[in-house]
Amino acid sequence: MQTRRTFLGSVGAAAALGVVGPAGLIGDAAAAENGATNINDAERTSVDSAAAPDRGEKILFWVAASTPCDKNLNFDPELYKDLLAYLKSQGADGVVVLGTTGEFPSFSFAERKKVAETAFKNRKGLNIMVSSGTSNFPETIELSKHAEDNGADGLLIVPPFYYKHPRQEALTKYYSMIFEQVKIPISLYHIPFASGVPISLELLHSLEHYPNLAGIKDSVDNAEEYHAFVKEFPSLNMRTGTDVNLKYALDHGMGAILAEGNVFTKQIASVFAAKRAGKDIDEPITKLYAAVKLLRPAGVDEYGPMKYALSLQMGTRQFYQRPPNSDVTEEQKTKIKAALDEIKRMG
């Protein structure tokens, strides 16, 4: 079963290895394309003073944050700073730095450290989880220790993704080498349609003696498989990585790491807020799905259109994705603007 919207519009596995805010934050097309400045100072001040989420709380909303690049495809630290502030202002509890939606395979080893360091310097009360996985254990350990040393709240580690169908004992050895050197919480990344290496119940059981095994991110839409994860490990945080399993996750005390959080931040945050307040979450989930239905046909599951939509929402200059992910088309831009206008009217 291939998911994440047919794997980001049929982008290859190597390329991928996660709406609208207040009216005043939605920039027009000229602002996005010609270079508006950043989110307003009052909003940034309120974000800077926000408290970090409780580390012991499981029902948290992490955004699988995109990684802004400029027109020359260089990492843009100023836009990243503004993105983090924006996501916090819209209700996100945390972000995953350089996950699949953050295009981690498209950045060099040195760049991955720089992006993470930028996140740590501008965390603004956000829980920071770093995606530190690579196809080999020396680099994975080095990136993991770098994150740990610089204040990461946790790690998300994809299996080594070049060799397919490794035996469980070999995967256990791989992850054990990391657990034995890194002590902050580690979650395993179940995204087999990209990595080619699933996270199994047996693998998790083989690692559960490590006290910093935190749980997983499950990016597969398969409800039955996700339910099995939750049933087998109720004390861990078996975070859903899809909006399809969001209600089930919250009903069972689990969190979520969502790529959809980039452009539907406010709607998803409203679902979590209702849950924490002990209210029924059906109404905010219905509003979320209504927004998704309007904007998703414009292609925002792909990174070019997603980043274009996000720049409109933030009121900043446009930011870009790296190849082999595709640029937003003029047709998609038109559809995105129309959908955002309609979502704004929905309130």
Predicted pLDDT at 52:
52
pLDDT at 50 over 80: no
| Domain extents in the chain | 58-278
Tell me the pLDDT band of 5, cut-offs 50, 70 and 90. low
Are the C-beta atoms of residues 266 and 91 closer than 8 Å to each other?
Answer: yes
Concatenating the DSSP letter of every residue in 95-154 gives EEETSTTTTGGGS-HHHHHHHHHHHHHT-TT-EEEEE---SSHHHHHHHHHHHHHTT-SE
Predicted pLDDT at 347:
77
* Homologous superfamily of the 58-278 domain (CATH): Aldolase class I (3.20.20.70)
Tell me the pLDDT band of 41, cut-offs 50, 70 and 90. very low
Predicted pLDDT at 344:
94
Tell me the pLDDT band of 57, cut-offs 50, 70 and 90. confident
pLDDT at 98 over 60: yes
Ranges 13-27, 51-65, 270-284, 332-346: which has the least confidence: 13-27
Mean pLDDT across 196-224: 97
**34-49: b (≥16 Cβ within 10 Å) or e:** eebebbeeebbeebee
**To the nearest whole number, what is the mean pLDDT of the chain?**
88
Handedness of CA 125, 126, 129, 131 (dihedral sign): negative
Task: State pLDDT tens for residues 147-205.
Answer: 999 999 999 999 999 999 999 999 999 999 999 999 999 999 999 999 999 999 999 99
User: Which residues carry out catalysis?
Assistant: 100, 162, 189, 217
Give me the torsion for CA of 324, 220, 249, 101, rounded to 10°. -10
Mean pLDDT across 255-282: 97
Residue 210 identity: Y
pLDDT at 88 over 70: yes
Mean pLDDT across 311-319: 97
